[in-house]
Structure 1
Amino acid sequence: MNLIVTFSKDLIFKFIRFGIVGISGIFVDFGTTWLLKEKVKIHKYVANSCGFLLATLTNYLLNRYWTFQSHDPKAFQQFGKFFAIALVGLIFNNLIIYFLNDKLKINFYLSKVFAIVAVSLWNFFANYIYTFAA
C-alpha cells in the first residue's frame, strides 16, 4: 500500500470524477430522503438513513467502475471498506457542523459547506489509499 500520494494528472482526474460522483450522490441522498419523508411519510431519520445508504451504494458503484476503474474481484469486501470510510465521513461531517454551527454560531448551511469540503477530501484520499489501492 503506497501511503505517499503523488499528485499526477491521473490523481487529479480521479479527484474530479470522484467529485462528480459525489454530486450525483447528493441528488440520490436528498431525492430519496425527500421522497420517503414527504411522499411516503416515513420518519425523517429512517428516510435520511435510506437516502444515505442508497447514495453510498450508488457512489461506490460509480467510483468502482468509473473513477477508480477497479477490477478487484472482492467487490463485497471493497464495498465494506468504502462504507466504513463513508460512515467515518458522516461522523466527521456531523462533528464539523456541530462545532461550527452550535459552538461558533456560524450559519448552518455555511457550516455544512465547510463540512462537505473537508469530508470530501477525507473520503477521496481514504478511498484512494485504502479501498481502491492497486
Structure 2
Amino acid sequence: MDFIRFIKFGLVGFSGLLIDFSVTWICKEKLQLNKYVSNGFGFLFGVVNNYFLNKYFTFQNNDHHLAAQFLSFLLVSIIGFTLNTALLYGLQKKTKINFYVCKAMVTVLVFVWNFAANSWYTFKI
C-alpha cells in the first residue's frame, strides 16, 4: 500500500511541476510579471494542485479541516523547498558534479522527505 502511495505521490508531484512551470511561464512571458513574482505564483498553484490531488487521490483523506491541513501541507512544501535549495547549494559548493545532476540527486532526497512528512504529519496515515 505505501509503495502505491509513493508512486501516486510522484505522479501528483509531476503534475504539480507541470502546473508550476506553466503558471510561471504564463506570468513571466505573457503577463510580463517579475520573474520572481511569477515563480512564486507558479509555486503556489503547484502546491494547491498537489494538496488536493494528494488529499483525495494519494491518501484518500477525509479530514474536513481543509485550511489547517493545507497550512500543514504548505509548511512541509516550504521546508522541502528550503532543503532542496540548501542541499543543492552545499553540494555545488563541495563538489564538481554538474548542476543538473546535483539537482536531480537533491530532488530525490527531498521527494522522500516530502512523502514522509506528508504521510505522517499532514495526512497522518
Structure 2-normalised TM-score? 0.95
2:21 aligned residue (30, 36, 56)? 30
**RMSD, aligned CA:** 1.0
Which SS does the other structure have where 1:133 is aligned? Answer: coil
Counterpart of 1:68 in structure 2 is 59
Q: Deviations over 1:61-109 (max 9, x none)?
A: 0000000000001111111110000000000010111112244232221
CA distance in 2 between counterparts of 1:37 and 1:114 reads 28
Q: Does 1:104 align with 2:95?
A: yes
Flag the structure with higher helix content. Answer: 2
User: Tell me, which stretches of 5 or more residues in structure 1 are unaligned?
Assistant: 1-9
Specify the SS of the correspondent of 1:42. Answer: coil
Does 2:6 align with 1:15?
Answer: yes
- Give the partner amino acid of 1:83: L
Q: Which has the higher contact order (CA 8 A, sep 6+)?
A: 1
* 2:116 maps to 1:118: no
- 4+ residue runs of structure 1 moved beyond 4 angstroms? none
Number of positions where the alignment pairs a residue of Structure 1 with one of Structure 2: 125
**1:22 Cα deviation (Å)?**
0.4
Q: Percent identity?
A: 44
Q: Does 1:54 align with 2:39?
A: no
Residue aligned with 1:69, SS: coil
- Bigger mean CA offset, 98-107 vs 26-35: 98-107
User: SS of the counterpart of 1:85?
Assistant: helix
Structure 2 CA distance for aligned equivalents of residues 31 and 109 of structure 1: 20
